[in-house]
């Protein structure tokens, strides 16, 4: 059985972290970043100015998805959406 030296373990960890960083760059194109302006918390209003609800969006899954959590101004109404850029179709879905 081989005993790993400290520097071998450190290099193995850094190598794995580098692989994880490279993998997360898959979704770093300009098209993937097109909706980054949407990422924050929004107070949503109806056309008459009355509160409609609150939308909170965040980037997730290695920068590949924008996840929205919706909470209506009316009690009990919530929702979630997941949006991503489809490189095959060239569209956001």
Residue 41 resides in a domain = yes
- Range of weakest confidence among 19-28, 32-41, 69-78: 19-28
Q: Residue 43: give the domain boundaries.
A: 28-92
Q: Is residue 75 part of a domain?
A: yes
Confidence of residue 3 (pLDDT cuts 50, 70, 90): low
| Residue 61 within a domain | yes
How confident is the model over 74-91, as a mean pLDDT? Answer: 89
Instruction: Flag whether 1 is in a domain.
Output: no
Domain tally for the chain?
Answer: 1
Beta strand ranges found along the chain (DSSP E): 41-45, 51-60, 65-72, 78-86, 91-92
Tens digits of residue pLDDT in 44-70: 999 999 999 999 999 988 888 899 999
Cβ neighbours of 91 (radius 10 Å): 9
Is the confidence at residue 17, as pLDDT, over 60? Answer: no
**Structural domain contains residue 6:** no
pTM above 0.75, yes or no: no
């Amino acid at each position: 059985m081989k005993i790993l030296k400290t520097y071998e373990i450190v290099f193995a960890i850094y190598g794995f972290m580098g692989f994880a960083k490279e993998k997360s760059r898959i979704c770093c194109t300009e098209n993937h970043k097109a909706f980054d302006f949407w990422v924050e918390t929004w107070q949503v209003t109806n056309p008459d100015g009355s509160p409609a609800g609150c939308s909170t969006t965040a980037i997730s899954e290695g920068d590949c998805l924008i996840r929205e959590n919706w909470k209506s101004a009316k009690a009990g109404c919530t929702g979630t959406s997941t949006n991503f850029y489809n490189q095959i179709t060239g569209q956001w879905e």
